[in-house]
Amino acid sequence: QVQLVESGGGVVQPGRSLRLSCAASGFNFSDYAMHWVRQAPGKGLEWVALISHDGSTEYYADSVKGRFTISRDNSKNTTYLQMNGLRSEDTAVHYCARVRDSSYWYLPHFDLWGQGTLVTVSS
């Protein structure tokens, strides 16, 4: 079954860290660039980060640059989002998403999403 399953969310105090995981199955994970997209409660979608299929390239939204790090382990079919220095504005459901076409990673739109994991930053 082709799917993405996120984990690692929870309640964390401002300034603390959290690592999210996204486990992929049912497709050749190492062929695909992967992204994280988040959604604050009752709000729209915000792109967070990208990692290329081989992990050699990363991009970040300005709102998380310097605080978040995306990575992947192709041997485990998993991508990660290390979140440091968390702020209240990081409270959101965080989704991992797969680009639709592995050959066109530079035209990123997403045909496979996980169910999301909620991160709540609160004292």
Partner 1 sequence: EIVMTQSPATLSVSPGERATLSCRASQSVSSNLAWYQQKPGQAPRLLIYSASTRATGIPARFSGSGSGTEFTLTITSLQSEDFAVYYCQQYNNWPPITFGQGTRLEI
For partner 1, the binding residues (CB under 8 A) are: 35, 44-47, 50, 59-62, 95, 100, 107-111, 113-116
Cα–Cα distance, 53 to 55 (Å, whole number): 6
User: What is the smallest separation between the CB atom of 97 and partner 1, expressed in angstroms?
Assistant: 8
CA distances to 8, 37, 42 from 98, in Å: 19, 10, 23
Phi/psi at 29 (5° precision): -55, -40
What DSSP line would sit under 3-27, residue for residue?
Answer: EEEEE--EEE-TT--EEEEEEEESS
The least CB distance from residue 85 to partner 1, in Å, is 19
Of 27 and 59, CB closest to partner 1: 59
Q: In the complex, what is the shortest distance from the CB of residue 10 to partner 1, in angstroms, rounded to a whole number?
A: 18
Rounded CA-CA distance 120/123 in Å is: 10
Question: For residues 37 and 83, which CB has a smaller minimum distance to partner 1 in the complex?
Answer: 37
In the complex with partner 1, which residue's Cβ is closer, 27 or 60? Answer: 60
Query: CB-wise, 87 or 109, nearer to partner 1?
Result: 109
**Minimum distance from residue 31 beta carbon to partner 1 (Å):** 17
